[in-house]
């Protein structure tokens, strides 16, 4: 019985799947810069935004009364940028696609939002990051050596 169970557990672990990932702040900063082509100028703002949207958790889904549901690292907004169960919205994707640890699609969508309207559509950025030290690059240089 125990042997059977351990085989089942092993099998589940071996299934190819995208899991959740909790990023460390500096790891994400480096990935955004080196793997995803983010501009250094706004990097600290992006990191501040991700912190307040998802606390660096790729599986984040934030639902609050009176506010639209936000998905993934960047808090991609349901019914504006994505739709549940269909590839629609500004980013043309299912919201659920933004909750795994494959973040290329998240990055693509976040960049699209930024190209259109900058950071201003991210309410958390407006409140917590705009004009604060958290949005400053010297902070990242100091903390992460970037
Ligand atoms: C930004 O917000 C405005 C007003 O809600 C909306 O019309 C626009 O589509 C949004 N843009 C993006 C890229 O999310």
Is the residue at 126 inside a domain? Answer: yes
Please, which pLDDT band fits residue 133 given cuts at 50, 70 and 90? low
Whichever domain contains 64, its CATH number is 1.10.530.10
Report the atom number in ligand 1 closest to the C-alpha of 121: 1
Is the residue at 17 inside a domain? Answer: no
Contact present, 58 and 28 (Cβ < 8 Å)? no
Report the atom number in ligand 1 closest to the C-alpha of 113: 13
More confident residue, 146 or 27: 27
Is the residue at 19 inside a domain? Answer: no
Is the residue at 12 inside a domain? Answer: no
CA-closest residue to ligand 1 atom 9: 80
Is the residue at 31 inside a domain? Answer: no
Please, which pLDDT band fits residue 52 given cuts at 50, 70 and 90? very high
Report the C-alpha gap between 93 and 98 in whole angstroms.
9
Is the residue at 34 inside a domain? Answer: no
Total tally of structural domains belonging to the chain: 1
How do residues 69-91 score in pLDDT, each as one tens digit?
Answer: 999 999 999 999 999 989 999 99
Count of residues in the chain: 146
Q: At what angle do helices 137-144 and 25-34 cross, to 10 degrees?
A: 110
Q: Find the domain containing 109 and state its range.
A: 41-144
- Residue 112: its pLDDT value, please? 98
Is the residue at 100 inside a domain? Answer: yes
Is the residue at 68 inside a domain? Answer: yes
Report the C-alpha gap between 130 and 32 in whole angstroms.
20
């Amino acid at each position: 019985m125990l042997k059977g169970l351990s085989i089942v557990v092993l099998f589940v672990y071996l299934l190819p799947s995208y899991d959740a990932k909790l990023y460390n702040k500096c790891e994400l900063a480096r990935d955004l810069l080196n793997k995803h082509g983010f501009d250094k100028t706004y990097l600290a703002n992006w990191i501040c935004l991700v912190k307040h949207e998802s606390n660096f958790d790729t599986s984040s889904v934030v639902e609050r009364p009176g506010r639209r549901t936000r998905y993934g690292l960047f808090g991609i907004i349901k019914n504006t940028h994505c739709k549940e169960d269909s590839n629609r919205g500004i980013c043309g994707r299912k919201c659920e696609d933004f909750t795994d640890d494959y973040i290329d699609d998240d990055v693509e969508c976040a960049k699209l939002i930024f190209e259109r309207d900058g950071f201003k559509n991210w309410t958390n950025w407006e409140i917590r990051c705009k004009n604060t030290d958290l949005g400053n690059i010297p902070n990242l240089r100091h903390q992460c050596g970037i």
